[in-house]
A and B are shown apart, each in its own frame.
Chain A
Amino acid sequence: MSRHPGLNYVIDPDLAVLSQSLTRRFGKFTAVDDLNLEVKRREIFGFLGANGAGKTTAIRMFCGLLKPSSGEAWVDGLPISTDAEAIKRRIGYMSQRFSLYDDLLIEENTNFFGGIYGLSKREIEASKAETFSRLGLDHLKRTLTRELPLGYKQRLALACAMLHHPRLLFLDEPTGGVDPVARREFWDIIYETAEAGATIFVTTHYMDEAEYCSRISIMKEGKIIALGAPAELKRLHNANSMEELFLDLVGEKARGSR
């Protein structure tokens, strides 16, 4: 257990993310409303919700990109309100609209991102060799990024996000638009990464992918309305599939009952 200076709070070292009453307002609009959440290390945590439910705002806070209006969250043991810079160095972030440089070779992209993370040349080379072979990018090193199929671009974006060996990876809709085979291959990589010791925090609109997570949360209007293992949630809400569960909790029926 570690005690943080200035905070009378003990953080469980087994938690990758701890969020307590985390709230973010934009003017009169409350995007994230009293969010409470614990993500354990090595979990594959699925962060689901309707468009505009507040997922991206919450992720931006966890990544140290946005300050909370009130409440607090600890990421890898560090409070987001004061340690944003240190958090950014400890996490990896990949979004669907990843920012790879199309005109660079694949390995030039990784060198560039390695530099941003402050890795030495030797560290970059070592990390690159390991990541490329694990992600099946070895034979493409000297390829121009723009010539990669989307599925491989996504792997490259993941490689860039993992060069500094983060213990926690935030993946924001990583599989949007790719074919079903590439989607599954990407999930195989996610599994391997989690088995190697990283925590995965992932958002998706594919409900079959929600099933691949160890636990999920469903957000609606800034609040978490369901939290647990997929099988447990389906049982609890008497749903046959994640799709059905999601539609029941977030859809018309749920709206009507309010």
Chain B
Amino acid sequence: MNSAVQIVDFSRSYGSVPAVKTLTLNVREGELFGLIGPDGAGKTTVLRALCGLIGRDSGTMSVFGIDPVREPRKLRESIGYMPQRFSLYPDLTVAENLRFFADLYLVSATERRQREERLMQFSRLAPFRDRRASDLSGGMKQKLALSCTLIHTPKLLILDEPTTGVDPVSRREFWAILKELAADGITLIVSTPYMDEALLCHRIALMNKGSALAVGTTSEITTLYPYTLVEAIADDLQKLRRLLVTHGLALNHLHRFGSKLHVSCSNSEEVKLVTSKVSQYGGSARVTEPSIEDTFVALLDNQKTVNPTQP
């Protein structure tokens, strides 16, 4: 498969603060690629550099063979970029916003009408065609912003945290749309702080503090989890957690995942200890496969141990 995006040793600082440190990434054509990580991981900096909006301190970057810094104009027609705060015109209706962006990208009237129909359909915004953007819900605004980004049919779509602050239902709808786009052959790079969205990507880069902790498919990345994971269920997980601490388990190996407690066990004795203590407590425990979030938490913890000066 051809590469759509190649990033080699990319670094970028803002003043004395490094935002991205020697990042190397490859995104293949037709791939749905996720940059997964919390605020301050450097996701936005990578995406803005790919669009040619900011320069690089060092390293190289190519998008469909074009250097975004040297030839930003050449790149513009092949990419669509949806920043975190996309500027919709609140006073314009859904249809008028789409028309405005079509004009900006010099889309002809005939083409525009065809695409408008398609975008309205797949974003399920058709019933709201004449509603002003200011009166749309958060999830609907994001879908309209996405539609505006797609009006010139880009080959590569770059989305910066499109689902942050969006409720679980709208989030799911939005990802269903991204999946359809990927199936149509569009390459997508999506950043998100939601670990569960990693599962919806073909491949991901797990990012933290300007570096990629891991790059690959989710199943490749979860193999990096360095412990055996025991999942425990009990009535009062807070109490169970405290109990396990008194039996020598480290607090940073005991993480709540919704209604379950995830225990990172270093060896088989610890697995036995945890299992017996949980059942004595009246709960149940079993060994299970780690998720991306388990892996991220563990890798983050190791990074903290390696560099303890970081708060």
Contacts and interface: CB of A to CB of B under 8 A. Distances in A.
Interface of A: 49-53, 96, 140, 148-152, 173, 176-182, 184, 187, 191, 205, 207-208, 210-212, 230-231, 241-243, 246-247, 250-252
Nearest to B259: A211
Interface of B: 37-41, 137-139, 164-173, 193, 195, 208, 238, 252, 255-259, 293, 296-297, 300-301, 311
Given A150-B38, A177-B38, A182-B38, A51 B166 contact: yes
B257 A208 contact: yes
B167 A179 contact: no
Nearest to B165: A176
A179 B208 contact: yes
B291 to A, nearest CB: 10
Given A208-B258, A250-B169, A50 B238 contact: no
Contacts of A231: 259
Nearest to B137: A52
8 contacts: A50-B137, A50-B169, A52-B138, A152-B311, A178-B39, A207-B168, A211-B256, A250-B168
Given A50-B139, A149-B40, A246-B169, A180 B297 contact: yes
B258 A179 contact: no
Contacts of B172: 247, 251
A53 B139 CA distance: 12
A152 B53 CA distance: 29
B297 A191 contact: no
Given A148-B311, A176-B165, A181-B301, 16 more contacts: A51-B166, A52-B137, A149-B40, A152-B311, A173-B165, A177-B38, A178-B39, A179-B193, A180-B255, A180-B297, A191-B238, A205-B168, A207-B258, A247-B169, A250-B167, A250-B168
A180 B296 contact: yes
Contacts, number: 98
B167 A205 contact: yes
Given A177-B39, A177-B193, A179-B38, A230 B259 contact: yes
Nearest to A176: B165
Nearest to B255: A184
Given A51-B138, A180-B195, A242-B258, A96 B37 contact: no
Contacts of A176: 164-165, 193
A149 B256 CA distance: 22
Nearest to A234: B259
B170 A51 contact: yes
B258 A211 contact: yes
A247 B170 CA distance: 10
A76 B258 CA distance: 29
Contacts of B259: 211, 230-231, 241-242
Contacts of B37: 179
Contacts of B256: 184, 187, 208, 211-212
Contacts of A252: 169, 173
- The residue among B39, B137, B238 with the most chain A CB atoms within 10 A of its own CB is B39
A180 B170 contact: no
Q: Which 10 A-B pairs have the closest CB atoms?
A: A179-B38, A52-B137, A51-B138, A208-B258, A211-B258, A177-B39, A251-B169, A50-B167, A150-B39, A211-B259
B165 A205 contact: yes
Contacts of A207: 168, 258
